[in-house]
């Protein structure tokens, strides 16, 4: 088994409810996850921060297949929630997971994990706030 690490998972196509509620199923009980905005610093605009929403995970690295499973579960969950909110709960699920997987394979894969060192980021933010 791979050692635990800390990394950021882009949130594209992933429901917060599914990721937070099911990550232990994929990574084990010692894994932790929280919503996290990954900040990208551009040299051309050092004061501007461009963040992408996703999840900060501490645990064994998640596989592409596990991410695809979370995305399929998220799609189903969001569809069911939309139906529930419009009071059409009698409509049955027609989403085919294999269809979603084949559709996704034709698109570029954008949910690659990115290692994150939050202690370095935290120190930089603290030093910037002291300098003001």
What are the structural domain ranges in the chain?
5-121
Whether the CB-CB separation of 55 and 87 falls below 8 Å is answered with no
Strand order in the sheet with 49-59: 32-41, 49-59, 5-10, 114-115
pLDDT of 89 reads 45
Is the pLDDT score of 124 beyond 80? no
Averaged pLDDT, 97-119: 61
What are 7's strand-pairing partners? Answer: 57, 115
Share of the chain above pLDDT 90, in %: 43
d(CA 8, CA 79): 25
User: Per 3-state DSSP, what percentage of the chain is helix, strand, and coil (rounded to 5)?
Assistant: 40, 20, 35
């Amino acid at each position: 088994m791979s050692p635990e690490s800390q990394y950021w998972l882009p949130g594209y196509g992933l429901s917060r409810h599914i990721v937070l509620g099911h990550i232990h199923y994929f990574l084990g009980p010692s894994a932790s996850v929280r919503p996290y905005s990954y900040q990208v610093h551009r040299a051309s605009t050092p004061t501007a921060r461009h963040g992408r929403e996703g999840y900060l995970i501490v645990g064994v690295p998640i596989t592409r297949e596990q991410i695809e499973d979370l995305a399929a579960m998220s799609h189903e969950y969001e569809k069911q929630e939309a139906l529930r909110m419009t009071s059409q709960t009698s409509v049955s699920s027609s989403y085919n997971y294999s269809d979603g997987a084949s559709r996704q394979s034709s698109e570029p894969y954008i949910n690659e994990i990115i290692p994150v060192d939050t202690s370095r980021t935290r120190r930089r933010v603290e030093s910037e706030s002291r300098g003001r």
